Every structure is written in C-alpha cells, then in structure tokens.
Amino acid sequence: MSPEEVDALAAAVAERVVERLRDEAVPPSEPTALLDARALAARLGVSVSFVYANSGKLGGVRLGNGPKPRLRFHLERAVEAHASAPGCTAPAAPQAAKPRPRRAASSAALLPIGGRAARATPTANTEETHDAA
C-alpha cells in the first residue's frame, strides 16, 4: 500500500467511527456528585448550621442507616430549592457588637482580694496565739 492509500483508508475508518459514535451517543445526564454540608454552604454563601437546619428543604439525602448517617446534597436541586422556597432564606448577617464605653479611672483605693493584705503581715494576736500553744 502506498502512503496515500493508507491515509485514505485511515480517513474512511475515522469517518465510520464518528458516525457510529453519533448513532450510539448517550444524552448527557445529570451529574451524580453529592456535596457535603460544608461545601454546599460555601456554594450558597450561608453557614453550615443553616444548611443543616434547612436540609429537608434543600433536598438533603441521608447516606446510611446508622445513628448519624452522612448528609449529602445535589448542588442543582439545593440551589433551586434555596432560590424558590419561601422559608429557606439565609438569616440576616449578625450585626457587630457595639463597644462598651470605658469607665473613667477612679482615684479610690481598691480593697484587698480575699484578705491577702491581712495575711501578708502577721499581727501581734497571731504570734501570741502560737506562743500560747
């Protein structure tokens, strides 16, 4: 076979392969990847506790039969549910706490804590008690 004949044969085989693949093509299916609560929270821009609290509305799927089955979500279903469900809205962001005003410094003397000042210097009464014993 000459190089031109090999090229022509290869082109013909390639065309037939492409035709068969088109005939047997499978329509694209929905992705089957499941997200955990943390990944879904990041995608939706909400907290993980929000995802757990609204897992039923977001289409959560429990994997396993144990006491704590894993919770997973289909991204497209959860996004759709989050956008359309009336009771499934993210809570408002918490407001920053206002700083408490500082008190003015006082010139008053402070009381000793737990009587530490009294114990630090022995008195005459405590010495007399030990001598009498």
| Three-class secondary structure of residue 61 per DSSP | strand
What is the rounded average pLDDT of the residues 102-121? 70
pLDDT per position as a tens digit, 8-31: 999 999 888 888 777 665 555 555
pLDDT band at 68 (very low <50, low <70, confident <90, very high): confident
- What is the pLDDT, as a whole number, of residue 113? 83
Quote the pTM value: 0.44
Q: Look up residue 3 and give its two tokens.
A: 């190089």
What is the rounded average pLDDT of the residues 102-108? 76
- What is the pLDDT, as a whole number, of residue 36? 92
- What is the pLDDT, as a whole number, of residue 38? 93
Distance CA 90, CA 94 (A): 11
Q: Are 75 and 58 in contact (CB under 8 A)?
A: no
Range among 17-21, 48-52, 128-132 with highest mean pLDDT value: 48-52
